[in-house]
Structure 1
Amino acid sequence: MERHTIFDWSRKARTGIPEAVFAEGKSLSHLHDVIRDHIDRNASLLITRLTPTQIDGLRDLPLSVDDLGRTATLEAPEPDHDAPVVAIVTAGTSDLSVAREAEVAANFMGLRTELIADVGVAGLWRLEAHLPALTAHRLIIAVAGMEGALFSVLAGLVTAPIIAVPTSVGYGVAKDGSVALGSALGGCAPGVVCVNIDNGFGAAAAAAKILNIAQAL
C-alpha cells in the first residue's frame, strides 16, 4: 500500500521544535503509520486536533490521550524541574480545550506550565486574585473567545509579554473567533502578539522558542 506520510525527523534539530501531527483530515491509517514509526524508533510524538472518532480508533495504542485538549502523546518527556515556566490563562471555562492543547504541547516541548482558568473580564475580581502569581511570570499565554478583552486587560497589568490565542468560542458577531482575533490584533495595550484562532499548539511553540532562548542567554 502506498504511504502518504513523510515525517520530518530533523525538524527539532533545525528549529528547536519537533514536528507534531495535525490530526484533522487524516485517516486512522495515516495516524497509525506515523505512530508505529515512532514506536519503532522509541521516539516521542505529539498529536493535536484529534476528533472523537480518531481518539476511539487509537485506544489500542500506548498513547496518553487528553480528551479535553484533543491531543495524544507517545513517550512524552517530563519537563525538567528547573525548566522555564509559562502561565496559561483562560477567559472562560469554554476556552479550556484550546488552553489544554497549549499546556500539553508546552509540556511536550520541555516547559513547565501553570494553568489559570475562568478569569475573564466579566468578573475582574477573579483575575485580580491571581495577579500576584501572574506578575511573577516571564511569559503568559492568554486564551479567550467572545470579545477577547482579556488580552488587553492582562497586557495592561503585567510586565510579561502576552501571546494571545483567540478562540472560536462565541455566538452572533463573535462567532468563529473573528472578534477575538481583531481584539488581539487591534488592542491598545502594548506587548501582545497573536497566533491563529484556536491555535494552542502555535502559542506553545512560540513560548518554547522565546523562553528557551532567554534561558540560554
Structure 2
Amino acid sequence: MDEKELKQLLLEIRDGSLDVEQGMEQLRHLPYTDLGHTKFDLHRPLRNGFPEVIYGEGKTPEQVADIFTKLDEQNNILATRVSPEMAAHVQSVCPDVHYNAAGRTLTLIRTPVVFHEGEIAIVTAGTSDLPVAEEARVTCEMFGSHARLITDVGVAGIHRLLHNLPEIRTARVIIVVAGMEGALASVVGGLVPQPIIAVPTSVGYGAAFSGLSALLGMLTSCASGVSVVNIDNGYGAACAACKINNL
C-alpha cells in the first residue's frame, strides 16, 4: 500500500463509504506479511516511496515462487539476481511473471506504473556491463522513471561517447556503468551538469580485482557531482536515480 492508496482508504472511512471493519481488513497485512521463510515489508512504500524488492540470489526457487504467489493479487513485484532455473520455476506457478534474462530480473505488473516526467540515461562503458545496466533499467521502469540505455561508449573509444553526448545531456539523471578502471564516470562527470550515479562492475582482468579497481577509481574521481554505489549494484543506482528524478 502506498501513500495515495492509504489516503483514499482513510477518506472512504471518513465519508462512510467504507466501514471500520472493511478498512481493518485492508490494513491487516501491514506492516509486513510473514511467509515463514520471509517477512515481506508491505509498509516500505509509505516510509520511503519504493516497495521492497526480492533479492533472488541465495534464496531457493520455491521461496521466491512463494513470495510471488502470496503477494501477486494487488502488488507489483520485482526480483533481482534471478537465475534461469529460478525464473522457470516461478513462471511455472505464476505465468504472468516476466523474466529479463539479460538483467536477471523477474517482474509482475498488477497495477499500471505511473511515470514521472524526466528520463534517466543509463550509460555503459562496454557491452559486458549490460547485465548491471539492464537491472538498473528494469528497476527504473518499475519505480516510475523512464530509462534509456546508451551502451558501449567507454573511454577506449572516446569518440563514441562524444557522438552520443547530445542524447545523454537530455536526461535528468545519469547512471554510468563501467568496469576495468571505471574511468567513464569521471569523463561523463566532466562533460555534463546532471547528477551522476556511478556503478562499478566486476568486469575486467586480474588487476581489476572483480570491480574493486573501478570502485576505487570512481570514489576518487576528480569530477564533481559523481556518487558511487556498490560493485554491480544496478538496483541501488536505479533507486538513487529515481529518488532524484521522481521528486
Task: Tell me the TM-score range normalised by the shorter chain.
Answer: over 0.9
CA distance in 2, matches of 1:29, 1:21: 13
Structure 2 residue 106 is the aligned partner of structure 1 residue 72: yes
Corresponding residue of 2:74: 42
How far apart are 1:80 and its partner, in Å?
Answer: 4.4
Corresponding residue of 1:124: 158
Give the aligned residue type for 1:33: D
Structure 2 residue 61 is the aligned partner of structure 1 residue 28: yes
How far apart are 1:161 and its partner, in Å?
Answer: 1.3
How far apart are 1:23 and its partner, in Å?
Answer: 0.3
Deviation sequence 1:75-129 (CA, Å, 0-9, x none): 1655546533100000000000000000000000000011100000000110011
CA distance in 1, matches of 2:115, 2:40: 30
Instruction: Please report the TM-score for the alignment, with normalisation by the length of structure 1.
Output: 0.93
Residue of structure 2 aligned with 1:112, choices 146, 171, 182: 146
Unaligned segments of structure 1, at least 5 residues: none
Corresponding residue of 1:84: 118
Q: Is the CA contact 1:78–1:110 (under 8 Å) kept in the aligned structure 2?
A: no
Residues 105-184 of structure 1 aligned to structure 2 (within 5 Å): 105-184=139-218
CA distance in 2, matches of 1:79, 1:55: 22
Poorly superposed stretches of 4+, deviation over 4 Å: 76-82
Give the aligned residue type for 1:203: A
State the percentage of identical aligned residues.
48
What is the SS of the residue equivalent to 2:199? Answer: strand
CA distance in 2, matches of 1:76, 1:152: 39
Residue of structure 2 aligned with 1:51, choices 83, 93, 100: 83
Corresponding residue of 1:97: 131
Unaligned segments of structure 2, at least 5 residues: 1-34
Give the aligned residue type for 1:141: I
How far apart are 1:164 and its partner, in Å?
Answer: 0.2
Query: Which structure has the larger Rg?
Result: 2
What is the SS of the residue equivalent to 2:197? Answer: strand
Deviation sequence 1:154-200 (CA, Å, 0-9, x none): 00000111100000001111131000000110011111000000000
Instruction: Please report the TM-score for the alignment, with normalisation by the length of structure 2.
Output: 0.82
User: What is the aligned-residue RMSD (CA, Å)?
Assistant: 1.5
What is the SS of the residue equivalent to 2:39? Answer: coil
What is the SS of the residue equivalent to 1:184? Answer: helix
Give the aligned residue type for 2:44: R
Q: Aligned pairs, how many?
A: 211
Q: Is the CA contact 1:77–1:108 (under 8 Å) kept in the aligned structure 2?
A: no
Q: In the superposition, relative to structure 1, how do residues 81 and 24 fare at CA in structure 2: closer, same or farther (>3 Å)?
A: closer
